Structure 1
C-alpha cells in the first residue's frame, strides 16, 4: 500500500473546511505551523490574490514598502493571501485596521512558519483576526488511513457499531509513514529514499539557519542537533528539563539553563516541539498529579530523523517505535478533532494511574484514550482506563465535581481490527481513523 501521489495534485486537508467556514465569520485568518506542512498551498486554494514576502525578486521592495505604507501591500482581490507575513510584523496592525475600515469578512489570509513576538504587535486583533494552527498531514489526509471511523462521530454516538472495521495499514507501512512524516512534498517523490530525505533536509534547515533567524539570535547548529536528539530519546515521556540538560551536557558541558530555554523557545516558535500539557480534574491532591508537559514533536518523523533511525531499524525495535507511534497518534487526533476545536492533554498520577491522551472538546465533553502499538498492551491499558473512569465518576457523585463523565474510553492501536470490548472500551486501529 505504498503511496505515491501525482506531482502538483492537491490533497484536501482537514483545515480546508475550517478555513472556509472561518472566512465567512471574521475579517482575517492567520495560519501558523511548521515549515513545509502545506500552509501556503492550502491558503492558495482559498485566496483570490497572493503576496509572497519571501519572493527573492521583490522581497526587498516589499520590506521597504511595509515601513513606508504597509496598507499598499494589502491591495488586491480578497481573500488576499500574505505569505510569511511575520517578515513584516507591522502588517498585523495594517490588516486589523483594514478589517475595521472595510467592516467585512473573508478579507485576508496570513501564513507564517514562526510564531511572532507579541511585543512587535501593537494590538491583539481580537474580533478581527483568528488564528489557526496547521500541522503536517495526518494518515487520513495522506490517504493511508481509510477513515472509516470518525473521532467526532464517537463523541456524538459513543455506542456506534465499529465491530469488524479493518485497517489496511501493515506494521511496515505504519513505520514507514512515521519515518516519512506528514510533509506534503514527500508524497510527490517517486522513491522511498527520496520521501525520507524530505524530513532529513527539513531538520538540517532548522538546525543550520531557522533556529537562528527566528529571532536573530545566533545559535550553534550542533547544539541544536544535540538538543533535538535528547528530546527524541525521551519522546512521549515526562522527563524533566533538568534531566534533558544533563543529557545534553554530556556533549556540551557549558550549556546553562537560560541557554537551554533559549534553544527550546526557538524550537517551540518554529513549531518543531509540540509538548502535551497535563490534565488536572481535581480527583487527586495537587501533589499527586503530574503537572509537567509530555515531550512531543509536531511530527514523529522529526524524532526519527534526529536519531538517525530508519524503517528497517525500527521494525526490529518496536519498543522504541512504540514511543514514536504515540507521537503519531497525538498528531493525528489533534488534526481530526480540530474541526470541533479539540484539545489534547494527558493524565498521570503518582499511583500509576494514567491516560496517554485526554481529548477535550470545546463543549466540555472529553474522551480517555491510551495508545498501544500491539495487542499485548491492550489489557493493561484497558485496566488503567477503567480505574480512571471509576475514580472520576466517584468524585463526580461524592464531591459534585463540575466535570462530565468521559464520553467514551478507547485504545488506539497499530493493529488491524476495530471492535468494542465487553467493558465498553473501543479498540481503534490508527489506520481506520479520521
Structure 2
C-alpha cells in the first residue's frame, strides 16, 4: 500500500481476503451484496470514490468495470495506497479492461499455513535457509495424528477451532457451492458432476504430473472421456477460482544433457479441498499412509508458497527423463534458490537426502549458483543440519 496506488488481493473464497482488507480500509463497498453500489457504478460512479481512503471494493469481479475506474482515479489523484480490491475469481481477459501495471499491485492470498494457524513453531526460517544459515528446532507443535487432522481441516480461518466432523461438513458445502454456483458465475455453464469428478481426479493424483488424457477419462466417467477443450475449460475455471495452483518445471543450467520433463504438477490451494472431493478423513488417511504421503505433500507445498511469497519467490518442480525428481525448488529473483524433498516418514530421510545431493551435483553452479539450502521436509521429529549438509525439517517447525 505504501508503494502503489491500489492492491488487488486474490484468493479462494473464505481464505480471509475481506477480513484482512477490513483491517486497513477506511471505507468499504461490497459489490457482491450492495445493489445500490452496483447501480452507482453506472449512474454516478464518482460517488463510490468520494469516501475516506483506503477504499475497499470487495468482490470486484462482480462488476469488472470498477477496474478501469480505479485505474483512472489513481492516475487523477497521483497518490499511493488509495484502494484495495478483493476477488475470489479472476474474470476472463477483456480487451476493454486496461492493464493495471504500475498502478495496481497483485497479492495472492491462500488459506493459512501451519505457522499462521499456530500449528508450527516457526523455529526453521525459510528466509534464513535461503541465506545459507543452519537451522535447528523442534516439530513438537503437532504429533502425527494431529498433523493428519490438519490436512483434513485445512487452513481456512472459519475452521481454526472446528473439529474434524464440523470441518468436513463445511468443506462439503463449500465444494457444492463451487460446483453448482461459482463455476456458473464465471459466465460458462459446466456440469457440476464433471466438476466434482475433476476435483476428485486431481486429488487422487496430488503431487503428480498427470496426462490430460487420463484426466479426461476420469472426468467423463461411464460416458467416456470428455473433449480436451472441455477439460481445459474446467481446469481454467478452477484456476480462475484460485482453487488450484501448478508447480511449473524448474529448468536450471545442467552439467549433463539429461532431458527434463516439462509437465506441471497440479495441486489444490489447500489439501483439504482434495480430501473433501474424495470424501475421506483422518481415519482413511491413517489406514493408507502411502496415499496420505501425497496429501501431506500438498500441505507442504501450500506452506512453502506462503513462506516464500514475502521473498517474491516461486515454487517449481524438477524431473528428468531418467526418473529423477525433486519435489520443490524455491527460486528468488536474485538467483538464490533451495531444493526440498517431501517425505512424510522420517525413515525415508536418508534416501531423500542422497537424492538431493545427487540432484545438486548435476547443477552447473558456475552459471546458476550454489543452493542456499537442501532440505528434507518431514512430518515429525527435530530440525537440524546433517553432516552431509542437508537439513531435516519437520513441517511443524517451518516458518517464514
User: Is TM > 0.5 for Structure 1 vs Structure 2?
Assistant: yes
Instruction: Tell me the distance in 1 between the aligned counterparts of 2:110 and 2:223.
Output: 32
Q: TM-score, normalised by structure 2?
A: 0.96
- Which segments of 5 or more consecutive residues in structure 2 lack a partner in the other structure? none
Asked if 1 retains the 8 angstrom alpha-carbon contact of 2:375 and 2:390, the reply is yes
Instruction: Tell me the distance in 1 between the aligned counterparts of 2:223 and 2:79.
Output: 54
Counterpart in 1 of 2:398?
A: 433
Instruction: Tell me the distance in 1 between the aligned counterparts of 2:47 and 2:282.
Output: 50
What are the equivalent positions in structure 2 for 1:181-330 lying under 5 Å apart? 181-189=154-162, 191-214=163-186, 216-253=187-224, 255-283=226-254, 288-330=259-301
Asked if 2 retains the 8 angstrom alpha-carbon contact of 1:25 and 1:106, the reply is yes
Instruction: Tell me the distance in 2 between the aligned counterparts of 1:287 and 1:409.
Output: 21
1:51 and 2:59 aligned:
no
Instruction: Tell me the distance in 1 between the aligned counterparts of 2:96 and 2:309.
Output: 26
Instruction: Tell me the distance in 2 between the aligned counterparts of 1:226 and 1:341.
Output: 34
The 1:375–1:87 alpha-carbon spacing in structure 2 relative to 1, beyond 3 Å, is: same
Displacement, 1:257? 1.1
Asked if 1 retains the 8 angstrom alpha-carbon contact of 2:124 and 2:135, the reply is no
Displacement, 1:63? 2.2
Counterpart in 2 of 1:42?
A: 20
Counterpart in 2 of 1:408?
A: 373
Counterpart in 1 of 2:8?
A: 30
1:176 and 2:154 aligned:
no
What are the equivalent positions in structure 2 for 1:292-371 lying under 5 Å apart? 292-371=263-342
Instruction: Tell me the distance in 2 between the aligned counterparts of 1:121 and 1:27.
Output: 20
Q: Tell me which of 131, 135, 152 is aligned to 2:110.
A: 135
Q: Tell me which of 362, 369, 390 is aligned to 2:361.
A: 390
Displacement, 1:213? 0.9
Asked if 2 retains the 8 angstrom alpha-carbon contact of 1:413 and 1:430, the reply is yes
- Which segments of 5 or more consecutive residues in structure 1 lack a partner in the other structure? 1-22
1:79 and 2:70 aligned:
no
Counterpart in 2 of 1:11?
A: none
Displacement, 1:285? 7.5
Superimposed CA distance per residue, residues 17-71 of structure 1 (whole angstroms, 9 cap, x where no aligned partner) = xxxxxx111110000000010000000011111111122xx32x22222223333
Instruction: Tell me the distance in 2 between the aligned counterparts of 1:119 and 1:175.
Output: 42
Superimposed CA distance per residue, residues 212-252 of structure 1 (whole angstroms, 9 cap, x where no aligned partner) = 112x2111111110111111111100111112112333334
Displacement, 1:210? 0.7
Instruction: Tell me the distance in 1 between the aligned counterparts of 2:178 and 2:78.
Output: 39
Q: TM-score, normalised by structure 1?
A: 0.89
After superposition, the CA RMSD in angstroms is 1.6
Counterpart in 2 of 1:126?
A: 101
Asked if 2 retains the 8 angstrom alpha-carbon contact of 1:63 and 1:88, the reply is yes
Q: Which structure: greater strand fraction?
A: 2
* Corresponding pairs, count: 399
1:167 and 2:132 aligned:
no
Asked if 1 retains the 8 angstrom alpha-carbon contact of 2:123 and 2:135, the reply is no
Instruction: Tell me the distance in 1 between the aligned counterparts of 2:248 and 2:164.
Output: 34
Asked if 2 retains the 8 angstrom alpha-carbon contact of 1:179 and 1:310, the reply is yes
Instruction: Tell me the distance in 2 between the aligned counterparts of 1:96 and 1:70.
Output: 13
Instruction: Tell me the distance in 2 between the aligned counterparts of 1:287 and 1:348.
Output: 10
Instruction: Tell me the distance in 2 between the aligned counterparts of 1:114 and 1:151.
Output: 29
The 1:40–1:405 alpha-carbon spacing in structure 2 relative to 1, beyond 3 Å, is: same
Asked if 2 retains the 8 angstrom alpha-carbon contact of 1:347 and 1:357, the reply is yes
Q: Tell me which of 43, 52, 56 is aligned to 1:68.
A: 43
